[in-house]
Structure 1
Amino acid sequence: MSRTLIVARMAEADSEKVAALFADSDAGSLPHRVGVRARTLFRYHGLYFHLIESDHDVDHRIESVRGDRDFRELSAALDPYIRPYDPDTWRSPADAMATVFYQWRRDD
């Protein structure tokens, strides 16, 4: 399983609107085309964390659908609510992805 964590800024008051936009999108075909198996959104003191779980790495798949109508519409709808963590360096979703530097899993 692969996990991708996107970090950005969001006002906590906008969390319901953002959740509704993703719920609408997740009911369609876009998550399947990207390979998303699960999505979890977190908020913390003005920060937004978007955890994507998939069978395979989705970084390149996200880039491949950036021109897709569904992706563009979702991105445009999210624009009033989600802001880049560092606007000076943000060019694409890849610029907002956290880097894993330690991982542990219990053996069952």
Structure 2
Amino acid sequence: MRILKDAGDDCRADSTAFRRQKFSYHDLTISVVDSDKDAADDVGFGIAERFYLWNGKEETETASAIRSGLWHTTMVVNRMTPGDASRIAELFAELDTTDFPEKMGTRRRQLWHYNDVYFHLQDFEQAAGTEVINQAWRDSDSRFIKICDDLESYIRRYDPETWARPADSIAKRIETETPYA
């Protein structure tokens, strides 16, 4: 998978892509490309850097579920200091060893950054990812509250003036295309 900041048609030439999504958030347009091509192959393409990946299932099952349109991506956008990426990854790695991701319905989690912009992608089997995140907030699950508290030292709101709850950090999906599904 690759994340391109307003990549336009540049990613459409990639014949290995099996899903393209476009999200908007405040002043950003973000293109997310799931493909058979490793993100590391695209250094210099102006893409975000992935610093954490958790697959709740085998990678082949993940690709198959995405190709078939069974998974839905929710994207959280905030700000971070790129030097904090390893600590943020450690916090999520600790959380992802528990049953919390499965309880929440998370099937894959990826953390990316582009300069100081932080992208947290969660794939769910249902389309209501925003509602799932809101429910975790309302349920006050101690693990969710703990990771939110722990992340406050590393993650800043993209736009603090418009933020009231975690769902305010969720980007809006404006397009999904599965050209080779």
Q: Which band: TM-score by shorter chain?
A: over 0.9
Bigger radius of gyration among the two = 2
TM-score of the superposition, structure 2-length normalised?
0.58
Q: Deviations over 1:20-43 (max 9, x none)?
A: 000000111111111000001001
Moved over 3 A (4+): none
Q: Quote the Cα distance in structure 1 between the aligned partners of 2:133 and 2:99.
A: 14
Segment of structure 1 superposing worse, 7-16 or 93-102:
93-102
Q: Quote the Cα distance in structure 2 between the aligned partners of 1:73 and 1:55.
A: 25
**Residue 10 (structure 1) aligned with residue 83 (structure 2):** no
Segment of structure 1 superposing worse, 76-85 or 98-107:
98-107
| Alignment match, 2:125 | 55
TM-score of the superposition, structure 1-length normalised?
0.95
Where do 1:13-32 residues align within 5 Å? 13-32=83-102
Gaps of 5+ in 1: none
Q: Quote the Cα distance in structure 2 between the aligned partners of 1:65 and 1:89.
A: 21
Q: Quote the Cα distance in structure 1 between the aligned partners of 2:136 and 2:150.
A: 16
Higher relative contact order (CA 8 A, sep 6+): 1
| Alignment match, 1:93 | 166
Segment of structure 1 superposing worse, 7-16 or 94-103:
94-103
Greater strand share, structure number: 2
Gaps of 5+ in 2: 1-70
Query: What root-mean-square deviation, in Å, do the aligned CA atoms of Structure 1 and Structure 2 show?
Result: 1.0
